[in-house]
Amino acid sequence: MKSRLIKDIVVLLVMLAIIVVITRFLPEKVPIHFNAKGEVDMFANKYYLLLATVIPYSAYWKFVRESDNKKIK
């Protein structure tokens, strides 16, 4: 149980570290939404990506942790 918690924390920190490195090379405003024509219709500050780390982490939590739980049962 404790090793799973440590693994989860390490995964989150690695994701944050990768995004911090990537944000250093991005322009101040990045497109975050495109309309049906493929044109950008919403921009955000590049540091918004740090808040968006929750999205890939939640995918990790859903698929990896769920498969780990199935193995335990």
Is the residue at 36 inside a domain?
yes
Query: DSSP per residue over 7-72, as a string?
Result: HHHHHHHHHHHHHHHHHTTS-SEEEEEE-TTS-EEEEEETTHHHHTTHHHHHHHIIIIIHHHHHHH
- Tens of pLDDT, residue by residue over 21-65, are 999 999 999 998 999 999 999 999 998 888 887 787 788 777 876
Please give the pLDDT value at position 67: 65
Is the residue at 70 inside a domain?
no
| Contact by Cβ (8 Å): 16, 53 | yes
Is the residue at 73 inside a domain?
no
Please give the pLDDT value at position 30: 93
Strand pairing partners for 30? 44
Is the residue at 19 inside a domain?
yes
What is the C-alpha to C-alpha distance for residues 43 and 35, in angstroms, rounded to an integer? 12
Is the residue at 21 inside a domain?
yes
Q: Which domain holds residue 43?
A: 2-62
- Tens of pLDDT, residue by residue over 2-13, are 777 788 888 888
| Domains of the chain: total | 1
Is the residue at 54 inside a domain?
yes
